[in-house]
Amino acid sequence: MTVNPNAKGLIFDLDGTLADTMPIHYIAWRNAAATYGIDFTTELFSQLAGIPLYPTVERLNQLFGKNIDPREMGDIKEAEFEKNMHLTPEIKPVTDLVRKWHGILPMAVGTGGSRRLSLKTLGIIGLDGYFDILVASEDVSNFKPHPDTFVRCAELMGIDPVYCEVFEDGVLGFQAAKTAGMMVVDVTQYYEVTIGR
């Protein structure tokens, strides 16, 4: 994995890009959804990847004609995730890139996750201290596929979006980066996806 020679700033998604949390998130969502009679498939998980916690529940309400309290179900899911998040491995081709370019190019994390769990995840994979800039779900009104998360990262780095390179694993993240006018790398080609095995 390389950095585009035109890049002046690097932006990384977190879940599924730096940290292989997706299988743990999937199991947490599946278990939480089952409580409400929803079959949370891997296809559904892929479709919703990148959407913050409570808006995901709102989307499930729309898809399944439910009236679930987003905070109630979201908190159940988050507790499930946090119980197992210590098992999260780093996604080495991407984290190696972070370590290589740390201190050379400005870097930021742009995630749909909460700030608290994102910081905890970075600590688990040994990347706490590598990022001064973290834009989480609490920091924007419009989440991916809207470009706001990545645009905010660019602003905080002081880099024009056209010179930012985004590393992502989710369809909504790809859309967000492209809408922002940024270069984008699909990191899934560099590691084997373990969801659904």
- Respond yes or no on whether the N-terminal peptide bond of residue 70 is cis (omega within 30° of 0): no
CA distances from 73 to 31, 33, 188 (A): 10, 8, 29
User: End-to-end alpha-carbon separation of the chain, Å?
Assistant: 25
pLDDT tens sequence across 94-142: 999 999 999 999 999 999 999 999 999 999 999 999 999 999 999 999 9
Residue whose entry in the numeric block shows the structure tokens 């985004």 = 166
Q: Quote the pTM value.
A: 0.90
In CATH terms, 9-20+90-190 corresponds, of 3.40.50.1000, 3.40.50.2020, 2.60.130.10, 3.40.50.300, to 3.40.50.1000
Query: What is the CATH topology of the domain spanning 22-86?
Result: DNA polymerase; domain 1 (1.10.150)
Report residue 11 as tokens. Answer: 């932006």
Residues marked active site are found at 13
What phi and psi, each to the nearest 5 degrees, are found at residue 24?
-70, -40
